[in-house]
Structure formats: structure tokens, C-alpha cells
Amino acid sequence: MKKTVLCSALSVTLLIAGSGAQASTSEAKQGAIFTGGAVLGAIAGGPFGLIAGATVGALIGEDIKHGDQAKQENEESIKTIASLENTLAMNEALMEAQNKHQRDLELKFTDILSNLPGEVFFESNSDQLTQDGLAIIEVLAEVINYDPDTVVELIGHTDPRGTDEYNNVLSQYRAKAVADQLIELGVAEGRIASRGEGSNLSTAVKGDSEGYAFERRVDIVIRSQDTVALHP
């Protein structure tokens, strides 16, 4: 009798094992455990042993199934964590690059500000900007536009030749010429203050043509919004 049951169990085992070759690895494991349990049960206790062995085999197979699922979930979790760590590392690298860029800009504009001429010079009896003056104003506009907390004060001057009325007007026109160029380069009009001093602050000796040349100018004073002078 046991031989018959054993042969039947072995036949079932072979049948399931054959079909298990086409199933997943987890399913094959469960089938093997189930049939193996049935075979052992049949040998040990006949038909009742077959049933008991099959039941035990099924339980063990179910445990293996859950184990395989847990392993798969664990592997997926590891992949997710690795992806998050990689993203975090990329974000940190990007932030560091941005911070470095900001520091470089600050150093650049601090250096520009410290080397920026504090005045723009004009030809005699003229309020037209020279090429050198235009180059200075272009850099000045870049500095002001970089820092939204800054304003600029422009103070026009003339040499002492001519009448006070003429010199006062000319000095205002010179300051306005610089202001207009800054506005054209994108500086907000509200961040620019200008005025003319005429020849009131002249210190050149009468007839000193070189001294006069330094008085035909517009002084540039860059300030923060709280009116603290930053330049010159």
C-alpha cells in the first residue's frame, strides 16, 4: 500500500516539478516543498501522512514565498535609498557651485568697485561724454545693477573760467549726461541723484590749464540705501 502511495506521490512530484520549470523561481520552490512534504508524509504515514506532509509542505512553501517577496521589497528599498542619496549629492554639489559663483561675483564686483575711477572728465565747454567716460559709465552701470541696495550721486563741476551762471548750467548738464547714460544702460532713474556745483569748488590756480582739466568733471559717489558712501 505504501509503495502505491509513494509511487503516486512521486508521480505528482514529477508532474509539478515539470510544470514548475515554466513557472517563477519562487513558485518552483513552493511546488518542490509541497510535493516533498507530501512524499515524506506518504512514506511516514500513508494517506494521512500524505495529507499532513502536503499541508506542512504548503506552509513551508508559503513561508518561502513571503521570504522571496520580502527580499524583493528589500532590494527595491535599497535601490530607492541609493537613488535618493544620489539626488541629494547632486543637489549639494549644485548648491555649492551656486554659492561659489555668488562668492566669485561678490569678489569680482568688490574688486571693480575698488578700482573704479571716481570721476568722469569732459572737454572744455562741453557736456559730451568722451570714449573714456563712456567706458567708465558702462562699468559703473554694471556695478549698480548688480547690487540693488546701491544708489549713485553725480556731482558736476567746471573750471573757474566763464560766468557763474554759465558754469552752473554746464555743470548740471554734465551730471545729467552721465545720469542719462546710466539710465540707457538699465539703471533705474530713482537710484540716481545729480546736481551741479559750477566752479564753486575750484581749487586750480588762475591760468593753470592742467589744473582746469581736472575740474571739468562729474564726481561719482556710490552709496548704499542707508546713505553710507561706498565709493569713492
- Which regions of the chain does DSSP assign to beta strands (E)? 119-121, 150-156, 192-196, 217-224, 229-231
pLDDT tier at 99, thresholds 50, 70, 90 = low
Give the pLDDT mean for 188-195: 95
Contact call for residues 15 and 34 (beta carbons, < 8 A): no
Contact call for residues 17 and 31 (beta carbons, < 8 A): yes
Which residue would you say has higher pLDDT here, 49 or 119? 119
Residue 92 has φ and ψ, to the nearest 5°, of -65, -40
How far apart are alpha carbons 214 and 157 in whole angstroms?
9
pLDDT tier at 27, thresholds 50, 70, 90 = low
Burial of 140 (0-12, 13-18, 19+ CB in 10 A): buried
Alpha helices in the chain (DSSP H): 2-20, 25-115, 131-146, 164-184, 209-215
* Residue keyed to cell 573757474: 160
Which residue would you say has higher pLDDT here, 14 or 206? 206
Instruction: Please check the confidence at residue 6 and state whether its pLDDT lies above 50.
Output: no
Burial of 76 (0-12, 13-18, 19+ CB in 10 A): exposed
What per-residue confidence (pLDDT) applies to 90?
Answer: 78
Which range, of 114-118, 124-128, 154-158, averages the lowest pLDDT? 114-118
- Angle at alpha carbon of residue 73, lines to 67 and 78, rounded to 5°: 125
What per-residue confidence (pLDDT) applies to 80?
Answer: 86
Average pLDDT, the chain: 77
The number of CA neighbours under 13 Å toward the Cβ of 193 is 10
Contact call for residues 29 and 60 (beta carbons, < 8 A): no
In the chain, what are the domains?
1-115 (no CATH), 118-231 (3.30.1330.60)
Identify which of 31-35, 62-66, 111-115, 208-212 has the greatest average pLDDT.
208-212
Instruction: Output the nine-digit C-alpha cell for 95.
Output: 548648491
How far apart are alpha carbons 69 and 74 in whole angstroms?
9
Instruction: Please check the confidence at residue 114 and state whether its pLDDT lies above 70.
Output: yes
How far apart are alpha carbons 117 and 119 in whole angstroms?
6
Instruction: Please check the confidence at residue 189 and state whether its pLDDT lies above 80.
Output: yes
What per-residue confidence (pLDDT) applies to 12?
Answer: 44
Q: What type of residue sits at position 7?
A: C
Which range, of 16-30, 51-65, 92-106, averages the lowest pLDDT? 16-30
How far apart are alpha carbons 52 and 45 in whole angstroms?
9
* Residue keyed to cell 499532513: 52
Instruction: Please check the confidence at residue 211 and state whether its pLDDT lies above 80.
Output: yes
- Alpha-carbon distances of 212 from 76, 83, 133, 201, rounded to whole Å: 81, 71, 17, 12
Which range, of 6-10, 42-46, 153-157, averages the lowest pLDDT? 6-10
Nearest to 126 by CA among 85, 86, 89, 162: 162
